């Protein structure tokens, strides 16, 4: 069975290839698993993949969930401000 960590790695490989749509597929598959110990990392990279692909609506939605779940992440708070202008 594939773990959320492996899906994160697959997604990162796609990010390096600039295949952001495929990266989103891996990151969201990881987030949909029953056990997601790396949820924060998956969410951050998925948001970035959405942004790079130009899907700012999906990025905004996931960022809203992210800042609610991780309110102490200051870089995410800044990124959220940036997304609101898109």
Q: What's residue 77's pLDDT?
A: 86
Which tens digits make up the pLDDT trace of 35-82?
999 999 999 999 999 999 999 999 999 999 999 999 999 988 888 888
pLDDT in tens, 4-45: 999 999 999 999 999 999 999 999 999 999 999 999 999 999
Q: Which pLDDT does position 66 carry in this prediction?
A: 95
**pLDDT at site 80:** 87
Three-class SS of 17-83: CCCHHHHHHHHHHHHCCCCCCCHHHHHHHHHHHHHHCCCHHHHHHHHHHHHHHCCCCHHHHHHHHHH
């Amino acid at each position: 069975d594939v773990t959320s960590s492996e899906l994160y790695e697959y997604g990162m490989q796609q990010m390096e290839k600039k295949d952001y749509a495929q990266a989103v597929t891996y990151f969201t598959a990881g987030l949909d698993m029953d056990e997601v110990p790396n949820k924060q990392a998956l969410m951050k990279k998925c948001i970035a993949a959405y942004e790079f692909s130009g899907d700012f609506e999906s990025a905004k939605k996931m960022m809203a969930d992210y800042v609610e779940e991780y309110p102490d992440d200051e870089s995410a708070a800044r990124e959220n401000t940036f997304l609101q202008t898109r």
